[in-house]
Amino acid sequence: MTRVLNRRELLLQAGATLAVLPLATRALADIALQEAPLFAEQVAAGKLPPIAQRLPKQPFVSDLAANGRVIGKPGGSMTTLIAKLRDVRYLSANAYTRLVGYTDKLVLRPDILSALDNEGNRVFTLRLREGHRWSDGYPFTAEDFRYYWEDIVNNKQLSPAGVPTYMLADGKPPTFEVLDEHTVRYTWATPNPLFLPTMAAPQDPFIYRPAHFLRNYHGKYADKDKLDQLVAKAKVRSWAPLHNRMDSMLENSNPELPTLFPWRAVPASSGARIVFERNPYFHRIDTAGQQLPYVDQVLADVASASLFAAKSNAGEVDFLARGLVMNDIPVLKQGEGAQGYKTLLWRLARGSEVALYPNLTTVDPVWRQLNRDVRFRRALSLAIDRHTINNALLFGLGQEGNNTVREGSALFEPSYRSKWAQHDSAAAAKLLDDVGLAKGSGGIRNLPDGRPAEIVVEVDGDTGLAVDTLELITEFWREVGLKLFIKPQDRTILRNRAYEGQTVMVASQGLDNAIPTAGMVPGELAPVHQDNLAWPRWGQYVETKGTSGEPVDMPEAKKLLEAYTAWLRSTDSAQQAAAWHAMLALHADNQWIIGTVAGALQPIVLRDGLANLPAEALYSWAPTSLLGIYRIDEIFWDRQDRRIAKAP
C-alpha cells in the first residue's frame, strides 16, 4: 500500500489505470461481514436486506491499519455545529464520497468507482461497482450517468448555460457512451486534464444523479398530469425549477433525494438540529468486515457562528472544525480539562493568510502604470516586515514569505517562498526612488502626476485578520514613504468594484490550494479568472471569451498564460509539473500577489474518546475538502458509553 502511495505521480500518467488497490480487490469471501447494531433489528424484522445484499459485490475496503488507524466499533452519535441551515451543504465536502478522490496523502484513487482508465487525459473509462446502491436501495448504474449527461447537461431548460467548463476540452464536449450497465466512457478529441481534479474537488460536480428519483420531475419522463400537479403544488413556473429544487445533491437540502454519502439526512428535522443517519447502503467497509461509517448519527446543531467557541468551551460539541479560527484557541484550550475534549491544531494549507493584490488592470492610468512596474511591486514586498506580522497575529507560529505553495507539496522550492520577501526597507526605498517616486512633504512620496502616494487597500470588512494585517503594513510602508488607507468593504461590492477595475489594491486570502500536486489545476496562478483580484479584467476577458474585460498585454503575464495552456494540453504529470514550476517561479519573481504569512492554525475540537482523526494534518477547502480526505466516516467512539445511540 505504502509502495503504491509513493509512486503517486505515476497514477495519473497516460495509460494508467486508477485501479482498485490490491487489498480492495481481495475477494469479499475473505472478509466476514458484520451487521451494524443499528440495523440488526430492522434486518431481523425483514425491513432491511442483510448487509451482504446491501454492499456492492466489491466494496471499498479501507485498510485502516495501513493508514495508521485502528479498526473501530460502530455506534453512537457525534454533535457538531453549523451556523445556518444552508451549511449542511458542507457535508458533501466533509463526507467526501467521490467517483475518484484524494487520499490523505493526496493520491487520487477510485472511491465510488471500482476503476478508472485514463488514456492520455483524453479517454476516461469509468467502471462502477456491481451491486452498488443508492441510500434508498435502488441500484446505482450507468443509467445515472446517462441521465446527467443527456437529460440534465444537454437539456436546454435545465442547463441554459450548456456544458460546464470542466467537461470541455478546447471548447468541445466529450462523446459519452454507456459500455454496459456498470461502465461508461467519456472521450475528448484533445486532452482534458481538468476532468479528474474536478471530480475530486471539494465542490463535487456530481456527474451522476439518481435517475430513478429525478425522472419523476423531468418533463421528458414524468406523467404530464402528475407533474403539472406537482408543479402547481410547489408554486413554480414549470417542471425545470421543480426538478432543480428536488435535485440538491450539493446542497443536501432535500432529505428525499437518495445519496451515496456515508450519512443521509433524516426528514422532519427541525430548524434547530439536523439529524444525519448512517446510510445502510454505503459502499465502504473496514478489513474486519464492518460497514462504514462507524458513527450512527451526526447531529448538526444550528447556532450563531459567534457562539461556536463558547459552545465548544462549554463542552456542547463532539466534533467541530469549520467556524473555529485561530483566535479561538485560548478559549478552546481553557475548556479542555473540565469538559473532556481536545483541541487539535492543524495547519491551514493556504498560500498566504493575507495577501495584497495590486490591480494590474485598474482604470486609474497612473496607478495602473505603477502597479505594472515590477520594481514597485517588489518594493512593496520588501518593505513588509513579515516577522512582526507573524508574531502579532499568528503567535509567531506562521511561515513568513510569498504567496506560494508550501512545504509538503512536491512542487515546493524554498526560493518560491523567500524571493523578494526579506524585510529590507532600504532596498525598498531605493527601488521606489528608481521608479521615480520622489519624497514630498511629510516624507510621503508623490506619484508621477503630483498626487501623494496614498494606496487605498480595499478589504472585506468581515475578515478581521486582513484588517489587522493591513494596520501593521500601514506602519511598514510609511517607513518607505507610502501611505496606506484601509477601506473595509462589503464583500459583494468589493468584488464588483474589482471587476470594473475600480480597485487599486485589495487585501484578501492567498492561494487557496497551497499543497497542490502537479495534476491539480493551476488556475489560481493564471490570468484566467476574474475573481483573482490582481487581474480581474484579464480574467474577465478569458471567462467571457473576449466580450468584456481586456486581453493580457504584459509579456510576463503572457508567459503565465502560456504555461497554463501547456498544463491544459498536458498528457502526463511531468508536463504538468513543468507548467506548475514555470508559473510558481514567475509569481515569485514578479510579485503579482504579495504574500505575508502562511500557516495559521485551524483548531479542531474533538471529544475525548473519538478516535481515528490524525493529531496533526493540513486543513483547507481545496484540496483537503475541509476534513474530507481524512475520511470522517472512519472516526469512531472508543468509549462504550458513547456508542449507545442517544435519542436525537
Partner 1 sequence: MNVITHTKAPADAGSTPHFVDPRPFDPGASEPMANEDERYWRASALTLIWWKFKRHRVALASAIVLLVFYAMLPFVEVVAPYPLTKRHGDFLYAPPQPVHLMHEGRFVGPFVYPYSFKFNLDTFTRDYEVDRSTPQPIRFFCKGDTYSFWGLFDASFHLVCAPEGGTMFLAGTDRLGRDVLSRIIYGARISLTVGLLGIAVSFALGLLFGGLAGYLGGWVDNVIQRVIEILRSLPELPLWLALSAALPANWSPLLVFFGITIILGLLDWPGLARAVRSKLLALREEDFVKAAELMGASRARIIGKHLIPNFMSHLIASATLSIPSMILGETALSFLGLGLRPPITSWGVLLNEAQNLASVNLYPWLLAPIAPVVIVVLAFNFMGDGLRDAADPYH
Partner 2 sequence: MIAYIARRLLTMAGTLLIISALVFVIIKLPPGDFLTNQIAELRSQGGEAAATKAAFLIKQYGLDLPVWKQYLVWIGVWPGPNGFSGLLQGDWGWSFEFDRPVNEVVGDTLWLTLLVNIAVLIFVHVVSIPIAIFSAVRQYSWGDYLATFIGYIGLAMPNFLLALILLYYTNRWFGISIGGLYDPQYANAPWSWNKVVSLGQHLIVPTLVIGLSGTAAMIRRMRANLLDELSKQYYVTAKAKGVPPTKALLKYPFRMALNPFVADIGNILPHLVSGSILVSLVLSLPTVGPILLGALRSQDQFLAAFILMFVAILTVIGMLISDLLLAWLDPRIRLGAR
Nearest distance from residue 271's CB to partner 1, in Å? 21
Q: Does 330 bind partner 1 (CB under 8 A)?
A: yes
* Cα–Cα distance for residue pair 431/591, rounded to 1 Å: 14
Grid cell 425491513 is found at 47
Instruction: Look at residue 38 and give the partner it binds from partner 2, partner 1, none, a contact being a CB closer than 5 to 8 Å depending on partner kind.
Output: none
Q: Does 493 bind partner 1 (CB under 8 A)?
A: yes
Nearest distance from residue 309's CB to partner 1, in Å? 5
List, in order, residues 6 or more apart from 351 with CB less than 8 Å away. 402, 403, 404, 405, 406, 510, 511, 512, 514, 595, 598
Q: Does 468 bind partner 1 (CB under 8 A)?
A: yes
> Given candidates 30, 471, 500, 550, which one binds partner 1 under the rule CB under 8 A?
471
C-alpha closest to that of 357 among 470, 492, 515: 470
Q: Which helix (H) or strand (E) holds 123?
A: strand 123-128
Q: Does 86 bind partner 2 (CB under 8 A)?
A: yes
Q: How many CA atoms lie within 13 A of 29 on its CB side?
A: 1
Nearest distance from residue 81's CB to partner 2, in Å? 9
> Given candidates 122, 129, 185, 311, which one binds partner 2 under the rule CB under 8 A?
311
> Given candidates 159, 187, 369, 474, which one binds partner 2 under the rule CB under 8 A?
159
Grid cell 509512486 is found at 7
Nearer to partner 1, 392 or 561 (CB): 392
C-alpha closest to that of 280 among 259, 300, 301, 299: 259
> Given candidates 43, 331, 366, 566, which one binds partner 1 under the rule CB under 8 A?
331
Q: Where are the alpha helices (DSSP H) in 322-421?
A: 329-339, 365-371, 374-382, 386-393, 414-418
Instruction: Look at residue 339 and give the partner it binds from partner 1, partner 2, none, a contact being a CB closer than 5 to 8 Å depending on partner kind.
Output: none
Nearer to partner 2, 2 or 492 (CB): 492
| Listed ranges 32-40, 115-123, 307-315, 513-521: which one lies at the site for partner 1 (CB under 8 A) | 307-315
Q: Residue 507: left if φ>0, alpha if ψ -120 to 50, beta else—which one? A: beta
- Calculated CA dihedral for residues 427, 404, 322, 638, nearest 10 degrees: -120
Nearest distance from residue 523's CB to partner 2, in Å? 9
The answer to whether 203 touches 164, Cβ cutoff 8 Å, is no
Instruction: Look at residue 497 and give the partner it binds from partner 2, partner 1, none, a contact being a CB closer than 5 to 8 Å depending on partner kind.
Output: partner 1
Q: Does 415 bind partner 1 (CB under 8 A)?
A: no
- Burial (Cβ within 10 Å: 0-12, 13-18, ≥19) of residue 31: middle
Nearer to partner 2, 50 or 461 (CB): 461
Q: Any idea what DSSP says for residue 147? A: I
For residue 481, how far is the Cα from the chain centroid? 39
Site for partner 2 in 221-240 (CB under 8 A): 235-237, 240
Instruction: Look at residue 471 and give the partner it binds from partner 1, partner 2, none, a contact being a CB closer than 5 to 8 Å depending on partner kind.
Output: partner 1
Nearest distance from residue 311's CB to partner 2, in Å? 5
Q: What track of x and - describes contact with partner 1 for positions 375 through 414 (by CB under 8 A)?
A: -------------x--xxx-xx------------------
| β-strand pairing of 108-110 with 100-102 | antiparallel
Nearer to partner 2, 85 or 578 (CB): 85
Nearest distance from residue 13's CB to partner 2, in Å? 26
The answer to whether 597 touches 389, Cβ cutoff 8 Å, is yes
Sign of CA dihedral 319, 320, 321, 322: positive
* Cα–Cα distance for residue pair 221/211, rounded to 1 Å: 10
C-alpha closest to that of 140 among 253, 292, 303, 261: 261
C-alpha closest to that of 448 among 370, 377, 380, 373: 370
Which grid coordinates belong to 66?
495501513
| Listed ranges 27-35, 213-221, 309-317, 609-617: which one lies at the site for partner 2 (CB under 8 A) | 309-317
Which grid coordinates belong to 368?
495602473
Q: Does 306 bind partner 1 (CB under 8 A)?
A: yes
- Calculated CA dihedral for residues 557, 560, 566, 572, nearest 10 degrees: 180
Biggest CA-to-CA distance, the chain:
87
> Given candidates 212, 487, 559, 639, which one binds partner 1 under the rule CB under 8 A?
487
Instruction: Look at residue 237 and give the partner it binds from partner 1, partner 2, none, a contact being a CB closer than 5 to 8 Å depending on partner kind.
Output: partner 2
| Listed ranges 49-57, 107-115, 248-256, 436-444: which one lies at the site for partner 2 (CB under 8 A) | 248-256
> Given candidates 120, 205, 440, 452, which one binds partner 2 under the rule CB under 8 A?
205
Instruction: Look at residue 68 and give the partner it binds from partner 2, partner 1, none, a contact being a CB closer than 5 to 8 Å depending on partner kind.
Output: none
Nearest distance from residue 248's CB to partner 2, in Å? 8
Nearer to partner 1, 168 or 392 (CB): 392
* Cα–Cα distance for residue pair 523/202, rounded to 1 Å: 15
Bridge partner list, 455: 484
Q: Where does this chain bind partner 1 (CB under 8 A)? A: 306, 309-310, 313, 327-331, 333-334, 388, 391-393, 395-396, 461-462, 464, 467-468, 471-472, 474-475, 486-490, 493, 497, 502
Q: Where does this chain bind partner 2 (CB under 8 A)? A: 79, 84-86, 159-161, 164-165, 201, 203, 205, 235-237, 240-241, 244-245, 248, 250-251, 253, 268-273, 275, 299, 301, 303-304, 306-307, 310-311, 314, 316, 492, 495-496, 531, 646-648
